[in-house]
Amino acid sequence: MAIDAWLPVAFKIPDGEQIRIALQDGLEWQIYEARGGGRLLIVRLQLAKRWFDAGIVHQSQMHAFSFGADEYFSLSSGLDYMLTSIDDCRSPDNKNEALSFAESFRITRDIDSESPLQDAIYVEKISRLLPTYSLSARVNDDIVFGTWLTGGVPVSVQSFRRLRSLMSWLGAPHLRDVVVKGGFTVNEKIVSQKPVAQSSRDEDLPVNNETDSLIQQVAERFTLAGRPELEQFFNEHIVDIIENDIRYKALGIDFPSAVILHGPPGCGKTFAVEKLVDYLGWPSFQIDSSSVASPYIHDTSKKIAEVFDKAMQNAPSVIVIDEMEAFLADRQAGGGSSHHRVEEVAEFLRRIPEAIQNHVLILAMTNRIEMIDPAIQRRGRFDHVIKVDMASEEEVLSLLSKLVSDLPCEDNVDVTELAKQLAGRPLSDVAFAVREGARLAARAGKDKLDQASLQQAMGINASMKKKENSSRIGFI
């Protein structure tokens, strides 16, 4: 939509620059393209005075002028500097651009710690983000910064792992420098492993042996409380390949293979997959009966293809296939729907290798591995078929310890006996016992979880299991 410009074409502001066309605008400001190719910021008197009073801009940095009955202030920005509203953002082209924005962000916050910046004006020439004080909902600084860095993806710079996956061209050490420059902290420890070539987008950067290296994450490792073997598998076959991709690519391993988790209901398959997806921080796409199943001919295959296409467009990403027996059952099993089943299996057979090549991680789950078409389980499609059994006593104890450690507890809390009682039960029972114990403690007016509340919760848990028709009520 065309902008209703305040000033006419060729209008000359006090520093000699001439107006060409209006590019962006707000209630009390407009940004114009100048005749010489740079940009001009024009603001009404009221907004400029707020900046002067706050100390964000010195009055000497802007030029006052009048047009008709209105009073304005102007600020010119040459071709070498960025002048734009940050909600009209694009990803920076190189590290220097990102560092300039980070410095402007930090300097602005040192002067004004309160004003919202989600729709501020970025003036690189004076290293400032100028708040526009609009009525839009406030966005936290970490989201504002992350959104600008990624060119519009609302991600927090505190979620460094996800930010790194979205800005892989910059490299983790360089990205860390940018985030720290902006006044934020990076909670992941980054250590040098070996020098790597710089991105072509950073050709103008000086070489720094300390930061220009492949990173290895050592402070934060994927953990899966209660399932040490599954945790080890995910770290070895997925996480390590992703986080040390250059080393693996040199040996011909480009991306992690697809994985099937199978086991009885309640064994923790979904919990494990959700934890891994959360750890990676990548966009995730679901394929299950509620999202793609259709009574119409060819429609299910079409929806499956659409999910794969979206995942590849947003790569690196994850596709989670739940209850895969609904789509990938053995084509030889027959039945009235066998023709459509053949079509759906064929779609998966075609798309899985393509998705992996395009950096889409595929995680599938089933309770009935014997029903899955053998062609799907062949190497090259799902390289890993992992059985997940019910948790042992040691695994339950590990999960219980993790769950209660996240809550305020009395000194008498001991989960050892509870682990014995819950061994071999669904992990949802374990989570329920702790949650129900916390509810009972709160109901009794306590501010900490105690052993009596946990034991009472175990009694409720056991009585519910005896009732066949309510065995799932209250469980997560």
Is 90 exceeded by the pLDDT of residue 269?
A: no
**Which has the minimum average pLDDT: 3-12, 68-77, 332-341, 463-472?**
463-472
Instruction: Give the strand pairing for 190-195 and 213-217.
Output: antiparallel
- pLDDT tens sequence across 37-86: 899 999 999 999 999 999 999 999 999 999 999 999 999 998 889 999 99
Domains of the chain in sequence order: 19-80 (3.30.200), 91-102+131-215 (no CATH), 228-387 (3.40.50.300), 393-470 (1.10.8.60)
Cα separation, 284 vs 353, whole angstroms? 18
- Contacts of 2-7 with C-beta under 8 Å, sequence gap 24+, read 3/30, 5/30, 5/32, 6/30, 6/42, 6/67, 6/70, 6/72, 7/32, 7/42, 7/67
Q: What are phi and psi of 339, to 5 degrees?
A: -60, -45
- pLDDT tens sequence across 125-179: 999 999 999 888 889 999 999 999 988 888 889 888 778 777 867 777 788 899 9
- Stronger pLDDT, 210 or 113, i.e. the higher one: 113
8 Å CB contact between 272 and 230: yes
- Stronger pLDDT, 356 or 330, i.e. the higher one: 356
Cα separation, 200 vs 313, whole angstroms? 22
Both tokens assigned to 75: 């600020």
Q: Which of the residue ranges 228-232, 293-297, 460-464 has the most confident prediction, judged by mean pLDDT?
A: 228-232
Half-sphere exposure of 159 (CA within 13 A, CB side): 21
pLDDT score of 198:
40
- Look-up of token digits 């086991």: 263
- pLDDT tens sequence across 216-242: 433 357 888 777 888 889 999 998 898
